[in-house]
Amino acid sequence: MTTTQAIIQAIVEGLTEFLPISSTAHMKFVNPMIGVDPNDSFSNLFDIVIQLPAILAVVAIYWRKFFDFSRISFYVKLIVAVIPAIIFGVLLGKHIDRALDNLYLIASVMIAGGIVFLFVYKWFTQPTIDDERQVSNSTAFKIGCFQVLSILLPGLSRSACTIIGGMSQKLTRKAAAEFSFFLAVPTMLAATVKKLWDAHKTHPDLLNREHATLLGLSSILAFFVAIIVIRFFIDFLKKYGFKPWGYYRIAVGLVMLFLLWRGIL
């Protein structure tokens, strides 16, 4: 992997991780365009690990909440919410790996998710929860179950699933988006630790000095890009909802299918 490829991937990850447009789909879409070898072990590791610094942007923005140790209930909710993803991630690891390699599936899910986004705003019109403090453990678990859908169907978007899951439980758009951000931290931390552990077992010398430097610099870039996106996204979601993202997803999914049909991807 070259420095230019790493920079592009870091920017794409930072831009797409928190938007309901699937960072996975965009990485799978961009990687062959910039010449990233899909069989390269470091590239596969990079795709997962680069998500963590983007996720840590949430901790930086909401640091008062993450480091308020007097509110144990906040951490309990996140643990409860992440349990379904951990269970299904362990049980269905091989299915997930196969699904991640199926670009036709990812493109189709992008389109299907986009169609859902065009109508989802009509489904949840009477929210009653506007703050994380009002979220119960059972509600957190139900939102976590929605997150599982993004694991089973890459291209669906983790953030989209958890935001819609939150809205289905009477959270406002703002509260649902913020809880989605919070839940991303333990979810992606677990995924990164697992990926690093697996990489160490199979390729103990994979993270040499060159790779570590490349990953470190890219992580910093992804972190700052994600901060900008998070600050922008909540206001945009409150004002415009999911419809613009629905049209975007459909367009990108159709482009992906066309490129696959033409043999470009």
- Residue 135 is predicted with a pLDDT of 92
pLDDT at residue 112 tops 90 = yes
Q: pLDDT tens, 145-156? A: 999 998 888 888
- Average pLDDT over the chain reads 86
CA 63 to chain centre: 20
DSSP state of 134: G
- Residue 204 is predicted with a pLDDT of 67
Full-model pTM:
0.86
Checking phi first, is residue 19 left (phi over 0); if not, alpha (psi -120 to 50) or beta?
beta
For residue 60 the two structure tokens come to: 């930086």
Q: pLDDT tens, 187-246? A: 888 877 777 777 667 766 666 778 788 888 998 999 999 999 988 888 888 788 888 999
Residue spans of the domains in the chain: they are: 3-261
Q: Any bridge partners for residue 171, and if so which?
A: 129
Cα distances (angstroms) measured from residue 90 to each of 204, 211, 263: 22, 27, 33
The residue to which tokens 């990812």 are assigned? 106
Termini Cα distance of the chain: 18
C-alpha 137/C-alpha 166 separation (Å) is 13
Which amino acid, 86?
Answer: I
